[in-house]
Amino acid sequence: MSAMPLPERPAPALHEWRTILRHRWPLRWMHWINLLCMLALVGSGLQIYNAHAALYWGEASHFATPLFATQAVQGKDGRLRGITRIGDARFDTTGVLGVSDNKLGEPVRSGFPGWSTIPGSKNLAMGRRWHFFFAWAWVLNGVAYLVWSLASRHLDRDLALRRRDWREIPRSIADHLRLRHPVGDEAARYNPLQKLAYLGVVFVLAPLAVLTGLSMSPQMDSVMGWWMDLVGGRQSSRTLHFIAMTLFVLFTLVHVVMVFYAGAINELRSMITGRFKVRYPVAAAPATLSQPPVGEEKDHD
């Protein structure tokens, strides 16, 4: 630490931190309700998958040639081995997929391990109860989100892709790769990749999960012939449902990584209390400041 001033050098660029209201309360509530529902749906969904730990394509199951399977085979030494099959390929996944330790530490047959399922031990009936309850909660929360986003113009103002967003995609990719953080107003709005990810989850992945979920019902299929024709059958639907789940989990992992990358405390606070700190270059701050101070909830979220 030097006390000597260095007058010959220009002073470092000065920044000013401003706190804005990033996310309004309905959005914050719906975000966390959504997370709760998704956790319950993934856990109970894996429980349901475990009842028949194989995926197929088409209308009916072709048991000998699954697309994907997490099975258990008895080795020559009598020990159980977990085998994950993807097409013709086979991988030993003992300990995680196919065979994993139960709560007593004994290896048991289980497509996905007990620590990832709800309930933690084999119980299809209970898994179904969890799944259907949280499916309703998730869908109702999703409908509320859509209605609110339209009514509050969140969708139109914050999520809709503008011509400018398309132009900025290459730069946004470069910024992400170089770990360059946006400042000022740019930091307070969604970047184009973020918009694409959110729109994809809301308008592609979520409807896909709902439709593939419903079309596994023999009763609902009586009115979903168009969908079955499109995807090729009930087993295709089940596989797509699983893929949708996988993409949701992947999205969530990337989402969490991005939260850390962008500043975990600031981002988390913005989704809990709504307050978000943005760094403005001092000279530019007054000119470009378009965010109202906290307390004025009229425009921003």
Partner 1 sequence: MTDDVIRPSRRRLLRGAIAAAGGGLLAGCDALTRNEGFVDLLGSVEPLNQRVQRFLTGDRLAQEFPASMISPVFRPNGSIDPQTPEYLALKRAGFADYRLRIRGLVEKPLEFQLEALRAMPARSQITRHDCVEGWSVIGGWTGVPLAALLDLARVRPGARYVVFHCFDDLSNDGSRYYESIDLIDAYHPQTIVAYAMNGAAIPVANGAPVRMRIERKLGYKQPKYVHTIELADAYARFGGGKGGFWEDQGYDWYGGI
Can you give the binding site for partner 1, defined by CB under 8 A? 17, 39-40, 43, 48-49, 51-52, 54, 56, 59-61, 63, 115, 118-121, 123-126, 128-130, 132-133, 136, 214, 216-223, 225, 228, 233-235, 238, 260, 263-266, 277, 279
Question: Residue 187 Cβ, how far from partner 1 at the closest point, in Å?
Answer: 11
Nearer to partner 1 by C-beta: 136 or 166?
A: 136
Compute CA distances 163 → 85, 174, 261, whole Å. 44, 18, 27
By C-beta, is 111 or 165 nearer to partner 1?
111
Q: Residue 157 Cβ, how far from partner 1 at the closest point, in Å?
A: 26
Q: Which is nearer to partner 1, 42 or 152 (CB)?
A: 42
| Smallest gap from residue 145 Cβ to partner 1 (A) | 20
- Using the structure block, give the residue that is written with the tokens 């499109």: 230
Asked if 42 and 112 touch (Cβ cutoff 8 Å), the reply is: no
CA 24 from centroid of its chain's CA atoms: 20
Buried b (16+ CB within 10 A) or exposed e, 241-280: bbbbbebbeebeeeeeeebeeeeeebbebbbeebebbbeb
Closest approach, Cβ 252 to partner 1, in A, equals 13
Q: How many whole angstroms separate alpha carbon 229 and alpha carbon 205?
A: 19
Q: Which of 189, 159, 202 lies closest to 262, judged by CA?
A: 189
Amino acid identity, position 86: I
Rounded least distance, CB 118 to partner 1, Å: 5
Name which of 113, 95, 101 is nearest 43 in CA terms: 113
69 pairs with which residues across the strands? Answer: 54, 85
